[in-house]
Amino acid sequence: MAMRESRKEKIFHWINAMAMVLLIIVMVYPFWYVIMYSLSKPYLAINGGFFLLPKGFTLEAYKTVLRNRSIITGFITSAVATVGGASLGTILAAMTAYSLSKKNMPGRKLLTYVFFFTMFFGGGLVPEYLLYKQFRLLDTYWVLFLPGCLSVWNILVIKNFYKSIPDSLEESAKIDGASEISVFFRIIIPLSKPVMATIALFLAVHYWNDFLTSVLFIFDKDKWSLQAVLREIITNTQEAMTRQGITIRNEYASNVSQKTITMATIMVSTIPILVVYPFVQKYFVKGTMIGSVKG
């Protein structure tokens, strides 16, 4: 009986490992496919198929993409919005969280509620749109990162972290004559670097991946973020490419096609994430854990 069970377990472990290998393949293969397709010669790739290796080899699609004005401007726009939104959002959240973590500040309870309330209820898309219109934020770069940078969730995460800093640390600094300002900047901020890095990374990924803000609030497509440009290329290939001045006269003779260009664009916008991902992954996991601890 015991023997039989252990064999059952062995089989389970074997199947489990196989299932996980299969899962890895399922997760990775789409990107492999995209890379291989983007490197292929269009007339060889046109029949689709499996793409374990590129069919023929050409970098022409990437050259076209990297020469393309709206992809380059989209890339820059996204980079600026990412850096701007992530740093502004982190600083604002850290400042707000510090005040809200101070029990002796009169009005703290009320202020906490004021912030907290926005987690359940919001005006919705249309009032936001009209507000941006009123403030002349529509069609500006500001709308890409300014309205969305402060998240109450992030404030709560940082606040929880501040709570874990022993009071004695601040007290002793104060006894030594440090002002509230220098306590914040010289003790709290340096101590909370890890949590701030995590928040900044969360925000950065959010901004890098954001396409909706551009699509909703920016009409001038030259101001769109990279993901919005990519969306247009994916969903509206022919028109988008014509607008961007890419004309493919003969798919069979040319070294690029709409499809290889689409694939190359997907890769160009994925690569930044893939490059930083291995390094930041553990911060994200940690961040999620901090976030799930009750505040």
Partner 1 sequence: MSKIDTSINTGIVEKTPYAVKKGKLWRNIVRNKFLYLLILPGLIHLIVFKYLPMYGVVIAFKDYNMFKGVFESPWVGLKNFKDLFHTAKFPLVMKNTLEISLLKMLFGFPAPIILALLLNELKNLRFKKTTQTIVYLPHFISWVIYAGIIRTFLNPVDGFINEIIKILGGAPYDFLGSRSTFRSVLVITDIYKGIGWGTIIYLAALAGVDSQLYDAATIDGADLFQKMRYITIPCIKPVIMTLFILGLGGILNAGFEQIFLLYNDMVLPIADIIDTYVYRKGIKEAAYSLGAAAGMFKSVIAAVLIILTNKVANKIGEEGIW
Q: What is d(CA 52, CA 268) in angstroms, rounded to the nearest whole number?
A: 20
**x-or-dash pattern for partner 1, window 54-73, by CB under 8 A?**
--------------------
Size of the site for partner 1 (CB under 8 A): 102
Which residue in the set 3, 113, 121, 275 belongs to the binding site for partner 1 (CB under 8 A)?
Answer: 121
Token digits of residue 258: 């709409």
Q: By CB neighbour count within 10 A (0-12 exposed, 13-18 middle, 19+ buried), where does 155 fall?
A: buried
When asked if residue 87 is in the footprint of partner 1 (CB under 8 A), the reply is no
Q: What is d(CA 114, CA 96) in angstroms, rounded to the nearest whole number?
A: 12
Residue span binding partner 1 (CB under 8 A) among the ranges 25-33, 56-64, 69-77, 79-87: 25-33
Which residue in the set 35, 40, 81, 98 belongs to the binding site for partner 1 (CB under 8 A)?
Answer: 98
When asked if residue 76 is in the footprint of partner 1 (CB under 8 A), the reply is no
Site for partner 1 in 186-245 (CB under 8 A): 205, 208-212, 216, 227-228, 230-231, 234-235
Which residue in the set 46, 83, 189, 197 belongs to the binding site for partner 1 (CB under 8 A)?
Answer: 46
Which DSSP category does 249 fall into? S
Q: Where do the H-state alpha helices sit in 165-257?
A: 167-175, 180-183, 189-191, 193-209, 212-217, 226-235, 237-243
When asked if residue 118 is in the footprint of partner 1 (CB under 8 A), the reply is yes
Q: What is d(CA 229, CA 221) in angstroms, rounded to the nearest whole number?
A: 8
Q: Are 271 and 136 in contact (CB under 8 A)?
A: no
Site for partner 1 in 132-191 (CB under 8 A): 134, 146-150, 155, 167, 170-171, 174-175, 179-181, 184
Candidates 30, 56, 31, 74; CA nearest to 257 is 56
Which residue in the set 9, 220, 222, 239 belongs to the binding site for partner 1 (CB under 8 A)?
Answer: 9
Q: Decide whether 209 or 254 has the Cβ nearer to partner 1.
A: 209
